[in-house]
Each structure stands twice: as structure tokens, then as C-alpha cells.
Amino acid sequence: MDSISYNAYQEMAHYYANEVNRKPYNALYERPGTISLLPDLNGLRVLDAGCGAGFMSKWVVDHGAHSVIGVDFSENMLAFANSNIDQRCQYHLHDLNQPMDFIQNEVVDLVVSSLTLHYLNDLDMIFSEFFRVLQRNGRVVFSIHHPSMILDMHQLENYFQTQYLKDWWNTPNGPVEVTHIHRPLRDYSEAIYKNGFLIEMIEEPMPLSSMQNIDPQAFQLLSTKPRFLFFRLVKQEP
Ligand SMILES: C[S@@+](CC[C@H](N)C(=O)[O-])C[C@H]1O[C@@H](n2cnc3c(N)ncnc32)[C@H](O)[C@@H]1O
């Protein structure tokens, strides 16, 4: 099965690196949602799966993490991550649809993955890889499209059917087609459980109150309809 969304992220890298971090949906909703679920970062070795331009990688080392392995399949996104030189962050060009053979077993304390898992073909594979690289009691914090938002936005006929969906993202260089995979929530919970994790927390956060002044329409929307869904998992010992 082909990896999806590669061309889109190659094309959008400049936009993503320079503008997305400042957009209210990211800066005042997604980023704070993910950050709210992070454990104490002090001394942790982190894997940032789908690190993009490296926002979260840099954030965790600046807030106490020991080091980060950032992984992404887009050369253009990684070029932006690498332009922000920090010895604590090592970036790897890699397709997460393949095992991360360059990471040894149990060398990571925390996996962070923002808005990436809905592009991956095989949830079992990625969660078994997270399990393999994580230390005892290691945690995974990730965000995905909220499946009920997708149901609503795409007017799905069948919520339970796993399916490829296309969106058009408006960028300064025109619209870019981005394909993602919709899955019912139970597919995530099955893959999580089957691969040795327990769900510690599920979060459906509110936007930060500062969004009310900056983008009242987005604030109203996000305060009444969830857009992203956030999880914190803990690795169970076999
Ligand atoms: C929505 S962006 C999020 C980027 C970053 N986590 C952030 O929050 O800024 C999704 C990222 O996942 C990456 N991605 C998508 N599919 C991937 C795959 N199969 N392997 C590796 N990276 C992938 C994209 O290149 C992109 O950087």
C-alpha cells in the first residue's frame, strides 16, 4: 500500500514551517492540547513521530527533555526542522509505514505524535513499534482528527468503514490536496490494547480563551464541536 500525503507535505513544508505554528487552530488548540497531556519531561528521551518542521521536538527539549529523535518522511519538512540547529534533536528521514530499524529496543521514554497517525496505513505496526522502542512504563501522547468531526465534515455514509478521504488545504500558494485515513475510534482502541498499551487519558480540550479575541468564529466552533482527539497511553509490562 502506498504512503499517502507525501506530496502534500513536500509542497506545504514552507507554509507549515512558517505559518501553521501561529494559526489559532494549532497555536491555541492543538499544541496546548498535546502539551497538556505530556508527563514531566525532565531527562526524558523522546521520539517525535511525524515531527514535521520540528515544533514539538524543539518544545520538549526546551522544557526539560534530554533528547529527541524526530522522524518524518518529508525531506522538505525535515529541512526546516534541521535549520533550527540543536544538538539535542536528531532528525531522521523515514516512512513510518516501515519499522524504525534505526532505533534500538527500549531506548525511548516518551513518544509524541501530533496529527500524524491518521496518515499511516497500519495502526498495529506503528503501535507495536512504539511498544518496542519504549522503556518500561513509557508513554505515548498523540493527537488525531476527531472521528466525529470527520463524520460531520465529510458527511460520511458509514462511520465504521475505514476509508481514504481528501481535503483541500488553503495555502498562500493555492489549495493543496491532502489525503488522510478515517477510522472508527474502536480501531484505535483495539490497536492500542492489542499492542500492549493502556489508555491513561483521553482529552477533548477547549481552545485557549485568548482565541476568543483573535478568531471568535474558530473559538465558537471549537468550543462546541471537537476537531482533534488526544490520547495518553502507558506501556504495560507483558
Ligand atoms: C499535520 S503534520 C504534523 C507535524 C508535526 N507533528 C506538528 O505537529 O507540527 C503531519 C506530519 O506527518 C508526516 N507524515 C505523514 N505520513 C507520514 C509517514 N508515512 N511517515 C513519516 N511521516 C509522515 C508529514 O510529513 C507531516 O510532517
Residue 238 confidence (pLDDT) above 90: no
Q: Is residue 55 part of a domain?
A: yes
Cβ contact 209:198 at 8 Å: no
* Mean per-residue pLDDT, 190-201: 98
Each residue's pLDDT tens digit, 61-79: 999 999 999 999 999 999 9
Residue 87 lies in a domain: yes
Ligand 1 pocket: which residues have CB below 6 Å? 3, 5, 9, 50-52, 55-56, 72-74, 77, 95-97, 114-116, 119-120
Which residues, including other chains, have CB under 8 Å from residue 5's CB and lie 6 or more apart? 119, 178, 179, 180
Q: In this structure, is residue 124 part of a structural domain?
A: yes
Q: Closest ligand 1 atom to the C-alpha of 55? A: 9
Task: Assign 1 a pLDDT band (cuts: 50, 70, 90).
Answer: low
Global model pTM greater than 0.85: yes
Q: Which of 30, 51, 38 is nearest to 229 (CA)?
A: 30
Whether 92 maps to a domain, the answer reads yes
Average pLDDT for 12-25? 90
pLDDT higher than 70, residue 5: yes
Ligand 1: distance of its center to the CA of 185 in Å? Answer: 20
Q: Which domain holds residue 114?
A: 6-235
Specify if 177 maps to a domain.
yes
Q: How many domains does the chain have?
A: 1
pLDDT digits (tens, 9 = 90+) for 152-177: 999 999 999 999 999 999 998 899 99
Please give the grid coordinates belonging to residue 203: 482529552
Report the pLDDT averaged over residues 91-114: 98
> Which atom of ligand 1 is the closest one to the Cα of 53?
9
Mean pLDDT score across all residues of the chain: 96
Q: Taking 80 as the threshold, does the pLDDT of residue 102 lie above it?
A: yes
On whether residue 1 sits in a domain, the answer given is: no
Closest Cα to atom 13, ligand 1: which residue? Answer: 50
Q: Does residue 52 lie within any of the structural domains?
A: yes
Tell me, what CATH number does 18's domain have?
3.40.50.150
The pLDDT of 100-104, averaged and rounded, is 98
